[in-house]
């Protein structure tokens, strides 16, 4: 060991240097220990700085969030835009079927030309205008007609509509057209994009049928006959409603079975596409069962006069799929008391009073003035078709012809039938 002051060698156990006489200091700790102390202090400083930075960042976030909250609390609440108050009438909402409430009318809303509906006649005018124009929703200035009257008049137009809805906020009437009527308006407008799949199929099939059965140069009477025979020949009366759409043209084209409303929806579509004036009307008849809502038939306008055409009953004779023309262009007066209808629902124009356009009138193969003429004509028809129709002066002649037919065919099964619904002496003969 050497003296730290003079550098002289000293003994290992000496506390004073023998050369300079100064005291010897104890040994310094090894360098490794000093190095460890310095590293510990350095890491302590680093962690202290990190903690300070973290605390400062947290404090800054807290201050920022507090500032944002203050700004949000001091901003004024938005004021909603004012909306117009719809007109409200005292008439309660009538919803025969579950349909959505009618919204506020759009800017281009269609308004009824009559301006309001306050009487039954007003509603009839409105429905006829909607049917002609193709407007399924019409907004009104007022709708004050009683609910019972609305339901009654709408039921009389049920051959045109599948459903309807009235609303008082704003006053409006919405109807859903039968598929035949919807297809007709779409084809007339040249735009079928709004039709459903079934309605589009009806429109395409109807257009194809008219192109097939209507030939250039046909008179309106011939066009009507072509449409009548096509409808009767291609449909069976649905005695039981086992399929859907028995009341519209979908039942006709898709299933080949429908009831009177289905015959009418199809006939009117085909007739209108052929260029005819065709409308529909209904009411109770003497054939209706108890509880029945009645029957419906067609009106066709020829030479300015409206005639009755009933393809349904021309397909029901003897409960067989036959083609008859008993109800082809019959004047209203020929029904006597067998049918009734609401005069207000008739289309504008004069009703026919004569048989001028009737299928059997002025056709010599169906008109007989004597018993011998009647027997000859009946035999010709019975041999060809198994049945015969004759227009005769009275029922006594029909009885004489029937007896002669029994003798001619050697059977007691020959009979005659007076059309119980008509009073223009049309008789039907058939072998049984």
Tokens of residue 156, six digits = 């009389």
Three-class SS state of 295:
strand
Task: Give how far the C-alpha of residue 347 lies from the chain's centroid of Cα atoms, to the nearest Å.
Answer: 24
SS3 per-residue string spanning 345-413: HCCCCEECCCCCCCCCCCCHHHECCCHHHHHHHHHHHHHHHCEEEEECCCHHHHHHHHHHHHHHHCCCC
Residue 342's contacts (CB-CB under 8 Å, 6 or more residues apart) are: 156, 281, 283
Most confident region among 6-15, 43-52, 371-380 by mean pLDDT = 371-380
pLDDT at 232: 94
Q: Are 255 and 237 in contact (CB under 8 A)?
A: no
Question: pLDDT (tens digit, 9 = 90+) per residue, 51-67?
Answer: 888 888 888 888 788 77
Q: What percent of the chain has pLDDT over 90?
A: 46
The pLDDT assigned to 414 comes to 62
| CATH number, span 182-359 | 3.10.620
Which residues, in sequence order, are CB contacts of 273 under 8 Å at separation 6+? 184, 187, 206, 207, 210
Q: What are phi and psi of 335, to 5 degrees?
A: -85, -15
| Whether the predicted pLDDT of 363 surpasses 60 | yes
Q: Residue 69: pLDDT band by 50, 70, 90 thresholds?
A: confident
Average pLDDT, the chain: 82
More reliable by pLDDT, 91 or 322: 322
Sorting pLDDT into bands at 50, 70 and 90, what band is 289?
Answer: low
CB burial string 187-214: b at 16+ within 10 A, e below: beeeebeebeebbbbbbebbbebbeebb
Cα(196)–Cα(217) distance, rounded to whole angstroms?
34
Give the tens place of pLDDT for each residue, 74-112. Answer: 655 554 444 443 333 333 333 455 455 666 777 778 887
pLDDT of res. 87: 36
- pLDDT tens per residue, range 194-241: 999 999 999 999 999 999 999 999 999 999 999 999 999 998 888 776
Q: Does a cis peptide bond (omega within 30 degrees of 0) precede residue 71?
A: no
Question: Among candidates 331, 337, 322, 342, which has minimal Cα distance to 300?
Answer: 331
Q: In the chain, pLDDT over 70 holds for what percent of residues?
A: 79
Please compute the mean of the pLDDT values over residues 404-424 and round it to a whole number. 78
Confidence grade of residue 311 (pLDDT, cut at 50, 70, 90): very high
Domain locations along the chain: 1-64, 87-177, 182-359, 365-432
Closest by Cα among 397, 403, 408 to 374: 397
CA dihedral sign of residues 97, 98, 104, 109: negative
Predicted local confidence at residue 106, as pLDDT: 77
pLDDT tens-digit map of 20-49: 767 665 554 444 444 455 556 676 777 777
Distance between CA atoms of residues 189 and 255, nearest Å: 27
Mean pLDDT, residues 272-283 taken together:
96
Structure token pair of residue 248: 């519209």
Fold held by 365-432: Translation Initiation Factor IF3 (3.30.110)
* Average pLDDT of span 11-16: 61
């Amino acid at each position: 060991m050497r003296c730290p002051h003079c550098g002289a060698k000293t003994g290992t156990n000496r506390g004073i240097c023998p050369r300079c006489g100064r005291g010897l200091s104890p040994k310094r700790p090894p360098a490794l220990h000093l190095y460890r102390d310095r590293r510990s202090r350095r890491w302590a400083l680093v962690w202290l700085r990190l903690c300070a930075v973290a605390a400062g960042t947290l404090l800054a976030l807290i201050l920022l969030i507090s500032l944002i909250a203050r700004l949000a609390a001091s901003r004024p609440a938005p004021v909603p835009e004012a909306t117009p108050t719809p007109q409200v009438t005292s008439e309660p909402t009538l919803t025969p079927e579950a349909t959505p409430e009618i919204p506020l009318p759009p800017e281009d809303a269609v308004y009824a030309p009559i301006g309001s509906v306050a009487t039954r006649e007003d509603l009839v005018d409105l429905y006829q205008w909607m049917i002609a124009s193709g407007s399924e929703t019409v907004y009104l200035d007022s709708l004050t007609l009683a609910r019972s009257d609305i339901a009654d008049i709408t039921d009389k137009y049920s051959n045109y509509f599948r459903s309807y809805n009235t609303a008082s906020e704003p006053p409006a009437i919405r109807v859903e057209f039968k598929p035949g009527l919807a297809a007709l308006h779409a084809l007339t407008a040249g735009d079928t994009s709004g039709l459903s799949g079934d309605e589009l199929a009806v429109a395409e099939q109807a257009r194809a049928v008219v192109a097939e059965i209507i030939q250039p140069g046909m008179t309106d009477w011939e066009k009507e006959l072509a449409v009548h025979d096509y409808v009767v020949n291609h449909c069976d009366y649905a005695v039981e409603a086992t399929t859907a759409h028995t009341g519209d043209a979908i039942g006709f084209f898709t299933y080949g079975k429908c009831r009177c409303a289905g015959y009418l929806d199809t006939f009117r579509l085909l007739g209108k596409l052929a260029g005819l004036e065709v409308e529909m009307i209904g009411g109770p008849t003497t054939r209706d069962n108890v509880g029945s809502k009645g029957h419906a038939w067609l009106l066709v306008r020829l030479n300015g006069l409206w005639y009755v055409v009933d393809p349904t009953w021309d397909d029901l004779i003897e409960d067989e799929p036959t083609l008859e023309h008993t109800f082809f262009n019959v004047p209203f007066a020929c029904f006597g008391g067998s049918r009734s209808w609401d005069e207000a629902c008739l289309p504008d124009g004069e009703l026919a009073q004569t048989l001028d356009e009737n299928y059997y009138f002025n056709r010599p193969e169906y008109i007989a003035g004597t018993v011998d003429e009647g027997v000859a004509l009946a035999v010709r028809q019975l041999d060809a078709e198994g049945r015969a129709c004759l227009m005769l002066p009275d029922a006594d002649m029909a009885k004489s012809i029937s007896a002669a037919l029994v003798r001619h065919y050697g059977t007691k099964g020959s009979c005659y039938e007076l059309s119980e619904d008509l009073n223009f002496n049309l008789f039907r003969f058939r072998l049984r």
